[in-house]
Structure formats: structure tokens, C-alpha cells
Amino acid sequence: EAEGEKFEFQAEVSRLMDIIINSLYKTKEIFLRELISNASDALDKIRFMAIGDASALETKPDLELRIQANKDKNTLVIRDTGVGMDRNDMVNNLGTVAKSGTANFMDALAEGQDLSLIGQFGVGFYSIYLVADKVRVASKKNGAEQYVWESTADGVFTVVKDPRGDTLGRGTEITLYLKDGAKEFAKTDVLEGLVKRYSEFISFPIYLEKSYKEEVEVPVEEEEVESVTTEGDEDEEEEFEEVEVSDDVKTKKEMITKTVWERVNTNVAIWSRPSSEITDEEYSNFYNAFTKDTVAPQSWIHFKAEGEMEFKSILYIPGEAPSDLYDTYYTKTAQLRLYVKKVLISDEFEELLPRYMNFIRGVVDSDDLPLNVSRETLQQHKLLKVMAKKLTRKVLEMLRRLASKGHTSEPDEAEEEEEEEESETKKVVDNEKYIKFWETFGKSIKLGVVEDMVNRAKLVKLLRFRSSLEGNNWTSLEGYLSRAKDWQKSIYYLAGESMEAVQKSPFVEKFKSKGLEVLFLVDSIDEYCIQQIPEFEGKKLQSISKEGLKFGDEDEKTVKSREKYYKEAFASLVEYLKTLFKGKIKEVAISHRIESAPSVIVTGRYGHSANMERIMRTQSI
């Protein structure tokens, strides 16, 4: 082997490799998933580059992955015809530059998280050392020479021009010299099982070299002939040939080993398949594969848009919210995987969904968008607006169905959701799946009510609140109205700091005694959200902590005369209180909406409520 230029792994990388080996030894097989995923990324990259320059593929026209094991030598070779790496890429990507993911991986380790999805930290390559004690990476990038990277994971690696010259054409060949404890990975049946599992959603063909024992008829070499044949003896050879050409060739059966390349995956993209043929498990696995999330999704919608523009999509609601979802709210929009004519344009394409839907993950595949433009110009493309509008409506449709039926999987016909919405019977009891969604991502819907005027009516129906009658159950506005008194003109709410605070509020008492329900708005954004909804199905939304409240069951005349009586009776008290609190309060008034508390402080009809003022002081969403 040629003497290479020697490099030291960056200290973090060395440490990382030790940690990987020590923490993931129980799930060694993940190395294969990481290598397949890297190969697939490299293939995506060259396919993307070929958009601008079709000749990029000439060095190796087929985009594919090949896996070859050698049981005798205990090696495993994984070859792709992807973009490849030049010398600098190898030095930088495979060892010296610790990526930001390194630190995250270390943190996750300290927190005791599941590390087996090592790929999400961007350090998947190093999982090779779970099974190999030596690794050789040969790679050829267009316009560069073929180089070899090699390391035994002992803190150093070498990089050298490949003495074999250009054997790859284009792409990367990774040879693993398997450890004693990992010899099973040189067995084709073991590999086949793993490749099938990990390549389910890889859109390039993956071939595995398989060997078959086959029975063949071979000519029997005559005993006498064999016994007299000696090397270099021309006479004997003549005699041997005579036997071969004779009419009466004797044959015998013999087992021989043949090798063939067998395609292991079917690369029909899951979103292109009819949804009736896709199991929930497949949907869920696909989500985990492309998001690298370890938790199963809560729900999804799979559809084909037709009309002005055609595209296919699967949109998912993740199982859990990322912990920084609302902290990064103003800097992060939804990021979908966008394919144009089967080419992955971006795995984080923005602007396809409004900001408040930034928790949604998914794939979008369209043949109608132009391929020959840069990502920046694509972002300006007018068809994207059409797409975004449709995607937004589909997310809303998924949520609506989740609430009414707990639906997950959806038929992929381009159905008219608008019509269906009308015909759907109103349901006031939520499916438990929607409750789960609400408790994870409810704040996003509230932000949507504030930000999305166009879809506000649909979003309002997705809102849920606690209330004085429902206790800890969530209610929708529709649910509230289904329990409302027929004379009730308003939907009442009270905003406060906590459930405890609103439940004990003296304002609520009178409502309870009249059997009226009060919505409790205890999330800081609730009140701001509800202010965007002046009315719902003809009923005003009314804060019970504001001046001028009417119940709707009062007989105007008695109320007036009662008011007049109390006003006169308490006139001097009112005057006294006014001078007592001068400058601190605006008005002292006789009220008929409190039950046992002697007095309450209310806010002016047109001012902010006390709760709103509290929020504005803290300036949080």
C-alpha cells in the first residue's frame, strides 16, 4: 500500500468515535443504514448537479448503490455512483472538521437520549467503527483524481492518490475490514435483511451481490488421461484434447458458486403509491426515515393535487414538539422536502406553508415546477403560491378530520374537501387523537388565528379551551354553543394567569349560578387570539371581566329600576370611594354581576383587560 499523507483526527472526532463504539455496540447494524443514507445523499447531489449540467453524469450514467461482501476476507464493500469526494473533501468531511452535530451528539449522550439515530447528529459516518477496525474509502469526484482515505481509528488517517488510478469513474467505494465480533455482516442473508429494512425509502436502486450454489454438468476427465497428464508435456496434451472432442463425452454433476447482482429495493417513492396499499406502519417508518425523528408521527395526510398544478404530497404531524418550537418561532418556517421531477431540490424547502404550520413535516413532489432554475428563483415561482395554498388547506383538513374522526391515513384522490366540510355533521366531542394534537401543538393554531386571516374561520373551529362547566376537558366553540342557553347572546370568557386563578374568580360565580358556561383563557396568547374573533356563529365573544356586561336574560325594565334604586341608595358610598381612590381608578359603578364578593375591579369597555396588560408587560407570545 502506498504511503499516504498522514492526518490526525480532530480531538472531538476521536472522542466521538470512542463514544460511538462504547455506547452503540448493542445496535452495531446501524452502520449500514448510515452508509446507505450517505450514499443516497451523494446520489441526490449529483442528480441535482446534473440539472444545470447534464454532462455531470457522463462519468457514470447509472445512479445506484452496490453492496458486496467477501466472507473469506471478512470485508464489506459499499459503492455508490454519487457525487464523490476529492482529496480536500475527504480530509474535511471524514475526520478533521468536527461538525456542530458533534456537540449535540455529546449533549444527547449526557442526557441519556436514544443515540441509535446517530444520523440526525450528522456524525453517522463514524458508526463504521462499530463493525470495522479498518476502513478504506476510495472516491472520485468529477474533474478530480481518485483518492483513498484510510484509517484504523487509532487517532490518525491517511489520504493518498489511489495507486489503482481511476477505477470508479465517479462515486465512492467504502471497504470495511470487519472486526472479529462483526463477521456476520459479511453474510449475504444478514445483509439482505438489513438492506431491505434500511433501504425501504431510498429512491436509487440498491444491488446486493449474492452467491448461489448451482448444480452443473461438467465433463468427466478420463481417469487415465488425468493420471498421465503432466505439465508442459505436449504429447499428453494432444491426447487430452482427443478425449475432449470425442463424441461420447462423459459428464458428472458438480456444485459451483455463481454470483449475481440482485436488486434489493423497489424504488417506487411511497408518495407515488396508492394510499390504499400503504400500511400505517409504512407511513410511520417513512416519516422516521426522512425526518430522523425517533418518535412516531401523530397523524398524516397523503394526497394528490390536481387542477391548476399537479403534485403529490404526504404531510405529517410529528409525535412531539421540538423543545424550541416557539422560541424560534419568528426565525423558522415549515421545512418540507421538495422534489421536482424526482430530483430532491431541498430537504428543507421553506415558504410552502405559513409560519404557524412550522411544526409540519413532509414531502412534496411536483413535475410541474421547472428544474432548470436555481433554488432562489424557484422560491419566487408563481406556482409555489398555488402549491402553498393547497398544502395549507390540506393541513387544515387533516386537523379537522383528526378532531372529528381521529383519521390518520387518507385516500389520495384529489377530493373536494370544501364540499365535504359542509356535509359533515357537527361533532362536539373530540377524538382523543385531536386532544393529543391540541396539547402538543395547540399554540400554533392560536398563532394561526392571529396571523392567517384567510383561513381564520377554519382555524377558529380548531381552537379548544378549558371552561367552567367542562373542568379539565377541552371544549371547542361549537361545543360551547351546544350547551349554551337558548337566550344566550354571547360566548363568555375569562382570561387569567392560571386555572386556579380563573376558577376562584368572583366574576365566575354569577355565571355559575345562572348555569352559564365561561371559557377559561389561561394561555398567555389566548386573549390576544380571541380578540381576533369578534363573533362565532352569530354570538359575540365577551370577556366577563369588562364593563357593560349583559347576560341576556334580564328584563330591561326591572334591571333599569333596580339599577336606579341602588344608584341612589349607594350614591354617597360611591362618592366616598371615588375620592378615596382618586387617580387610581377611572370609575366606581354599581354592578349586578357579582354574587358574593362585595366588589370587583373591572377594566373599561374599550381598554385592555387586566390579563392582557399583564401579558403586554411581559411581552411574550
Secondary structure (3-state) at 563: helix
Please choose which of Mg ion, ligand ADP, none residue 39 contacts, taking the beta carbon within 5 to 8 angstroms, the exact cut-off set by kind: ligand ADP
CB of 147 to ligand ADP, least distance (A): 12
465 close to 521: Cβ distance less than 8 angstroms: yes
Torsion of CA 369, 372, 375, 380, to 10 degrees: -60
399 near ligand ADP (CB under 6 A): no
Q: Which of 124, 318, 479, 496 binds Mg ion (CB under 5 A)?
A: 124
Closer by beta carbon to ligand ADP, 124 or else 479: 124
Please choose which of Mg ion, ligand ADP, none residue 42 contacts, taking the beta carbon within 5 to 8 angstroms, the exact cut-off set by kind: ligand ADP
Q: How many residues does the chain have?
A: 621
536 close to 542: Cβ distance less than 8 angstroms: no
Closer by beta carbon to Mg ion, 38 or else 455: 38
354 near Mg ion (CB under 5 A): no
Instruction: For the segment 453-482, give every residue that binds Mg ion (CB under 5 A).
Output: none
Closer by beta carbon to ligand ADP, 133 or else 347: 347
- One-letter amino acid at 159 equals V
Instruction: For the segment 41-60, give every residue that binds ligand ADP (CB under 6 A).
Output: 41-42
Shortest-Cβ-distance residue relative to Mg ion: 124
- Site size toward ligand ADP (CB under 6 A) is 17
10 near ligand ADP (CB under 6 A): no
96 near ligand ADP (CB under 6 A): no
Segment interacting with ligand ADP (CB under 6 A) among 35-43, 295-303, 382-390, 552-560: 35-43
| 109 alpha-carbon distance from chain centroid | 22
438 near ligand ADP (CB under 6 A): no
Instruction: For the segment 546-605, give every residue that binds ligand ADP (CB under 6 A).
Output: none
CB of 84 to ligand ADP, least distance (A): 6
- Give the separation between CA 95 and CA 554, rounded to whole angstroms: 79
- Give the separation between CA 578 and CA 572, rounded to whole angstroms: 10
Cβ atoms within 10 Å, residue 247:
4
Pairing of strands 343-349, 336-340: antiparallel
Please choose which of Mg ion, ligand ADP, none residue 94 contacts, taking the beta carbon within 5 to 8 angstroms, the exact cut-off set by kind: ligand ADP
Integer angstrom CA distances of residue 490 from 24, 160, 474, 541, 565: 60, 78, 19, 6, 27
Closer by beta carbon to Mg ion, 38 or else 335: 38
| 507 alpha-carbon distance from chain centroid | 44
E strand residue ranges, 124-220: 132-140, 147-151, 156-161, 171-178, 206-219
Tell me the Cα Rg of the chain: 35
CB of 175 to Mg ion, least distance (A): 18
Instruction: For the segment 105-164, give every residue that binds ligand ADP (CB under 6 A).
Output: 122-125
Segment interacting with Mg ion (CB under 5 A) among 118-126, 231-239, 362-370, 446-454: 118-126
Closer by beta carbon to ligand ADP, 90 or else 336: 90
205 near ligand ADP (CB under 6 A): no
34 near ligand ADP (CB under 6 A): yes
| 387 alpha-carbon distance from chain centroid | 19
- Give the separation between CA 586 and CA 572, rounded to whole angstroms: 17
Instruction: Report residue 46 as a C-alpha cell.
Output: 449529483
Closer by beta carbon to Mg ion, 38 or else 175: 38
Cβ atoms within 10 Å, residue 244:
11
- Give the separation between CA 165 and CA 353, rounded to whole angstroms: 49
Closer by beta carbon to ligand ADP, 105 or else 271: 105
Backbone angles phi, psi at 49, to 5 degrees: -65, -30
Sign of CA dihedral 326, 328, 332, 338: negative
CB of 19 to Mg ion, least distance (A): 17
Q: Which of 32, 39, 345, 352 binds ligand ADP (CB under 6 A)?
A: 39
Closer by beta carbon to ligand ADP, 344 or else 398: 344
Integer angstrom CA distances of residue 233 from 237, 413, 426, 554, 594: 7, 78, 98, 125, 122
Closer by beta carbon to ligand ADP, 170 or else 394: 170
Annotated binding residues = 34, 38, 80, 85, 93, 99-101, 120-125, 172, 375
Of 586, 588, 584, the residue nearest 573 (C-alpha): 588
Q: Which of 14, 38, 265, 299 binds Mg ion (CB under 5 A)?
A: 38
Strand 535-536: give its sheet, edge to edge: 471-475, 465-467, 518-521, 490-495, 539-543, 535-536
94 near ligand ADP (CB under 6 A): yes
Determine the Cα angle at 398 with ends 396 and 402, to 5°: 115
Q: Which of 23, 27, 93, 116 binds ligand ADP (CB under 6 A)?
A: 93
Of 464, 317, 278, the residue nearest 398 (C-alpha): 317
142 near Mg ion (CB under 5 A): no
Task: Classify residue 387 by its DSSP letter.
Answer: H
Closer by beta carbon to ligand ADP, 80 or else 222: 80
CB of 333 to Mg ion, least distance (A): 25
- Give the separation between CA 379 and CA 384, rounded to whole angstroms: 7
Please choose which of ligand ADP, Mg ion, none residue 80 contacts, taking the beta carbon within 5 to 8 angstroms, the exact cut-off set by kind: ligand ADP
95 near ligand ADP (CB under 6 A): no
Annotated binding residues for ATP = 34, 38, 80, 85, 93, 99-101, 120-125, 172, 375
Contact set with ligand ADP (CB under 6 A): 34, 38-39, 41-42, 80, 82-85, 93-94, 122-125, 172
Residues of this chain that interact with Mg ion (CB under 5 A) are 38, 124
